[in-house]
Amino acid sequence: MSRTNIEIDDELVAAAQRMYRLDSKRSAVDFALRRLVGEPLDRDAALALQGSGFDFTNDQIESFSDAGMGQTDQS
């Protein structure tokens, strides 16, 4: 890890610290960067996503294909 000096909005940092109960500016910046860039999910976090979002039956998915949805022009 390296040391970097940056100009940063103190009010935004303080807001992040309050919202996420972070104890330092460094932890707030680290948290924000990890949220922005992303980091791999561990097993528990991945399992927590199970069932969120995509909720179609096989028949519905096939009907999308039959209707030409999701297909791009191949010409």
The pLDDT value given to residue 46: 76
Q: Is the pTM of this model over 0.75?
A: no
pLDDT given at position 48? 80
| pLDDT at site 56 | 74
Assigned domain for 40 exists = yes
In a domain, 59, yes or no: no
DSSP string for residues in 34-68: HHHH--PPPHHHHHHTTTSS----HHHHHHHHHTT
64 found inside a domain: no
Does 39 map to a domain? Answer: yes
- Residue 71 placed within a domain: no
**In-domain check, residue 68:** no
Structural domain contains residue 28: yes
pLDDT tens for each residue of 17-46: 999 999 999 999 999 988 888 877 778 877
Give the pLDDT confidence score for residue 1 in this predicted structure.
82
Residue 35 belongs to domain spanning: 7-49
Q: How many domains does the chain have?
A: 1
